Structure 1
Amino acid sequence: MAVVVVTDSSAGLPAELTDELDIAVVPLHVLVGDRTVREGVDPIEIDYTADTVTTSAASPGELREVYERALARSGGDGVVAVHISRQLSGTWEAGRQAARDMASDNVRLVDSLGAGLATGLPTLAAARRARAGAALDIVVDAAVAAASRARTFVLVNRTEQLRRGGRLSTAASFFGSELVTKPLLQIVEGRLELREKVRTRSKAYARLVAAAVEAAGDDGAAVAVQHLGAPEAAETIAGQLRDLAPGIRELIVAEFGPTMGVHLGVGAVGVVVVPGGCA
Structure 2
Amino acid sequence: MNKIAIVTDSTAYLPTDTIHKFGITVVPLMVNFGQESHKEGVDITADQFFARLASEKSLPTTSQPSVGEMVQAYERLLQTHESIIGIFISSNLSGTAHSAETAARMVEGDISVIDSKITASGQARLVLAACEMIEQGLDKEAIAAKLNAMVESIKAYFIVDSLDHLHRGGRISGVSALIGSLLQVKPILHVQDGKLELLEKVRTRKKSLARITELVKTAQDPNKHLTLTIVYTDNPSDAAEVAEQAKANFPGASISTAQIGPVIGTHVGPGLIGFIYDQQ
Q: TM-score, normalised by structure 1?
A: 0.89
Aligned partners of 2:31 and 2:62 also within 8 Å: yes
Q: Give 1:90 deviation, angstroms.
A: 0.9
User: What do residues 114-134 of structure 1 show as CA deviations (whole Å, max 9, x unaligned)?
Assistant: 121121111211121112221
Q: Is the 8 A contact 1:122 1:142 kept in 2?
A: no
User: Cα RMSD over matched residues?
Assistant: 2.0
Q: Secondary structure at the match of 2:197?
A: strand
SS of the residue corresponding to residue 196 of structure 1 reads: strand
Aligned to 1:273: 277
Evaluate the alpha carbon distance shift between residue 61 and residue 270 of structure 1 in structure 2; reply closer, same or farther with a 3 A threshold: same
Tell me which residue corresponds to 2:239: 234
2:147 corresponds to which of 138, 143, 149: 143
* Paired letter, 2:217: V
Within 5 Å, give how 1:207-226 maps onto structure 2.
Answer: 207-218=211-222, 219-226=224-231
Instruction: Determine which structure has more spread, i.e. the larger CA radius of gyration.
Output: 2
Corresponding residue to 2:163 among 136, 147, 159: 159
Matched, 1:68 2:92: no
CA deviations 1:203-255 (Å, max 9, x no partner) are: 1121222223333433112221110111122112212222222232x333111
Structure 2 CA distance for partners of 1:38 and 1:244, relative to 1, 3 Å: same
The 3 A distance-change label for structure 1 pair 151 and 85 is: same
Correspondence list, 1:83-98, <5 A:
83-98=88-103
Say yes or no: does 1:17 pair with 2:18.
yes
Cα 1:53–1:180 shift into 2, 3 Å: same
CA contact (8 A) 2:59 2:266 kept: no
Unmatched tracts of structure 2, length 5 or more: none
Counterpart residue number, 1:107: 111
Partner of 1:8: 9
SS in 2 for 1:2: strand
Aligned to 2:137: 133
Distance 1:69 1:223, change over 3 A: farther
Change (3 A) 1:178 1:11: farther
Give the conservation status (yes or no) of the 8 Å contact 2:71–2:107.
yes
User: Shift of the alpha carbon at 1:135?
Assistant: 0.5
What secondary structure does 1:266 align onto? coil
CA–CA distance in 1 between the matches of 2:205 and 2:197?
A: 19
Query: Counterparts of 1:86 and 1:4 in 2: how far apart (Å)?
Result: 21
Report deviation, 1:42.
1.0
Deviations 1:95-117 (A, max 9, x none): 1111111143x111011001211
Aligned ranges 1:181-196 → 2 under 5 Å: 181-196=185-200
Where does structure 1 lack aligned partners over 5 or more consecutive residues?
none
Distance 1:30 1:246 in 2: 38
Q: Which residue of 1 aligns with 2:173?
A: 170
The answer on whether the counterparts of 2:190 and 2:196 sit within 8 Å (CA) in structure 1 is yes
**Conserved? CA contact 1:227–1:269, under 8 Å:** yes
1:229 is aligned with what amino acid? Answer: D
> 8 Å contact 1:150–1:273 — kept in the other structure?
yes
Deviation larger for 123-132 or 46-55: 46-55
SS in 1 for 2:79: helix
SS in 2 for 1:209: helix
- The answer as to 2:53 corresponding to 1:55 is no
How big is the shift at 1:52?
Answer: 4.0
Output the CA distance in 2 between the equivalents of 1:173 and 1:114.
24
Q: Take 1:152 and 1:257, find their aligned partners in 2: how far apart are those partners?
A: 17
